Each structure stands twice: as C-alpha cells, then as structure tokens.
Chains A and B, each alone.
Chain A
Amino acid sequence: MEAKDHTDIRSSEGFRSFALEKSDALYRIASRMVDRQGADDLVQEALTRAFASRSQFRGESAPFSWLCGILMNLCRAELRRRRVKSWFSLNWFVDFGEDAAPEMESRTTQSPIEQLEARERDRLLREAVATLPEKQKAALILVSFEGMSVRDAALCLETSEDAIWKSLSRGRAALRRTLDEAL
C-alpha cells in the first residue's frame, strides 16, 4: 500500500487529492463489507469524519490504514444496525438485491459465455465472503482483496498481526470450502 506523507493529508487540498486517489479502494472495501447500496453513504461518512479529524492524525500508521479504520468502524456499526433491524423485522433472508447483478467491467476480449461464467464466479465469491464472520471478512478484504500489508491491516482494525493471520487462515479456509462445493 502506497505510503503518503501524513503532513499532506492535513491540508484540505492534500486530503481531497488523497481521498480521490483512494476513493475506489474505499468503495470496494465498503461494498464488500456491507453491500453496494450502503457503500456510497458509508464512504462519504468516513471521508467527512476523516476530513474533520485530519489534524489529529499523527502518522503512526499509513494514512490509508487510518482512513480504512474509520471506514471499517462505520461498516461494523452498519452491520450491527442491520443485524438488530433484521432481528426485529424477522427478515431472515439475505437480500443480495442489486449485488446479484454487479456492474462488471465489460471486457471486450470475453465471449458472452465467459462473461457469464466470470459473473457467476464473482457472485459466488461475494456471497461466500458475505457469510464469513466479521473479523475474518475484514481481514480478508483488506489483505487478500486490497493487498494491504498485515501490519497495516492490524493497525486499521485495531488488533494484533497474529489475530490478522489467524483470521486470514480461517477465512480463506472457509472460502476454499464454500467455493469447492460450488464450483
């Protein structure tokens, strides 16, 4: 993960250019942690909070880890809120809604069948990730999907590197099992 001088993001302009650079990664993280519908709002809220508290950023971690930490806290709060909501509404179904048909990048080199297969694999993968326990999901998204270092992921999730390795091991084992059965 590219490290950026933390003094940069303390200025409004520096923060805005940093946020623009990382916005697609933040969107991907939020859409995998929660879903595509909620990702927009969560990223915007995280950016608002980060912008407001950027002067408190001391540079103890990479700016992206710090920003991810804010986003992850919001994602976890949103997941908790949804769990409570679904408990009271007795809505036990996992609604993948729009996620069931993601806007995949159209790749002209793929035949329609290949595109269909890729879309199906993508759906399976996202569904498998969605069923993981929160900690495993978070570690997997940051390290395996976004390529963040284990150290940065640990800082971002406010946990130890050992815990991240453990979550990765368990999460990846669960994904392998699920995809083994499905593919």
Chain B
Amino acid sequence: MKPSNLCEQFAEKLPQFRAGALAQELAKSLEAHKESCPDCTLLLKKDEALDGLIALPSELPAEPKSAIVDHIESLSESETTPIPWLWVGVLSALVLFTVIASWRPAKAPPKQTRKTWRQEKGLSKEDMPKEGYRDTRG
C-alpha cells in the first residue's frame, strides 16, 4: 500500500484507532505508519486537541433547567395517556370512506311520456289527441 493511501486510511480510521477499536493487524500497521509520517502525527495531535476543546466547560448547565425538573416532577399517568393517533387516523379514514361510498347524486325524475301523462290524468287512450295534433285555439 502506498504511503498516501495509508495517510488516507489513518485519517479515516482515526476515531477507531484512538479508541482501540481496530483489528490488531490494521492497528499495528497504522501505528507503524504514524511513527514514520509527520502529517499523520500532526493529525493525531490536532484530534487530541479537539478533544481538549470539547472537554472545556461550555454552556453546560450546572443544574438541570428548572422547567425540565418541574416537568419531570409533574409527570403522572393521567396526563401522559398516549393518544392512539394511528387509530384516530384509521377511524377518520373509515368514516370518510363510508360517507363518500354512500353518497349518490339525486335521482332525476322519470321521463314523462304520453302514456305516463295519460295514466296520471286518468284518461283512456281514446280521449287522447292524436299524435302530431297541435291545439291552435290559443
């Protein structure tokens, strides 16, 4: 393996290398490479310095935030009964489906023919004017 590849590998595996989480053979090979490579030695130092920076006191609260503490103390069974959102969703979908499925457009009134008109008026066939007859009396 070329030294440049080892440098890349060293950089890539640096967290595992530092944590001792690499296979023994690879760890040995990277350790040997680090000893002979000033770039990788510097990289390791920079990574250690990063840990130093992370470990510095930050915005870490000295005590848990009071709002959170109050919340923890107020946790009780009645307040935290989980809403079964899945079931709420399934039921809503079912209701919506039923409404849509049962909807039908209003039925149009049956078409009126001479026959139905005659039956409605209680007239016999003979009482009916002949087809094509037009009342011109005004």
Contact = CB atoms under 8 A, between A and B. Distances in A.
A165 B16 contact: yes
B51 interface: yes
A16 interface: yes
B32 interface: no
Contact of B11 (A26, A40, A173): A173
Contacts of B75: 12, 15-16, 19, 47-48, 51
Interface in B30-56: 43, 46-47, 50-51, 53-54, 56
Contacts of B54: 125, 144-145
Given A48-B80, A165-B16, A176-B46, A102 B59 contact: yes
Contacts of B81: 52
Interface string B55-89: 01111111111011101110111011110000000
B60 A23 contact: no
Contacts of A39: 65
A122 interface: yes
A172 B54 CA distance: 11
Contacts of A7: none
Given A27-B65, A53-B82, A118-B56, A47 B72 contact: yes
A169 B46 contact: no
A5 B80 CA distance: 23
B59 A40 contact: no
Contact of A104 (B57, B71, B80): B57
A124 B106 CA distance: 70
Main secondary structure, interface of A, reads helix
A31 interface: yes
Interface in A168-183: 168-169, 172-173, 175-176, 179-180
Contacts of A125: 53-54, 58
Interface of A: 12, 15-16, 19-20, 23-24, 26-28, 31, 36, 39-40, 43-44, 47-49, 51-53, 99, 102-105, 107, 118, 121-122, 125-126, 144-145, 150, 165, 168-169, 172-173, 175-176, 179-180
Interface of B: 11-16, 19, 21, 43, 46-47, 50-51, 53-54, 56-65, 67-69, 71-73, 75-77, 79-82
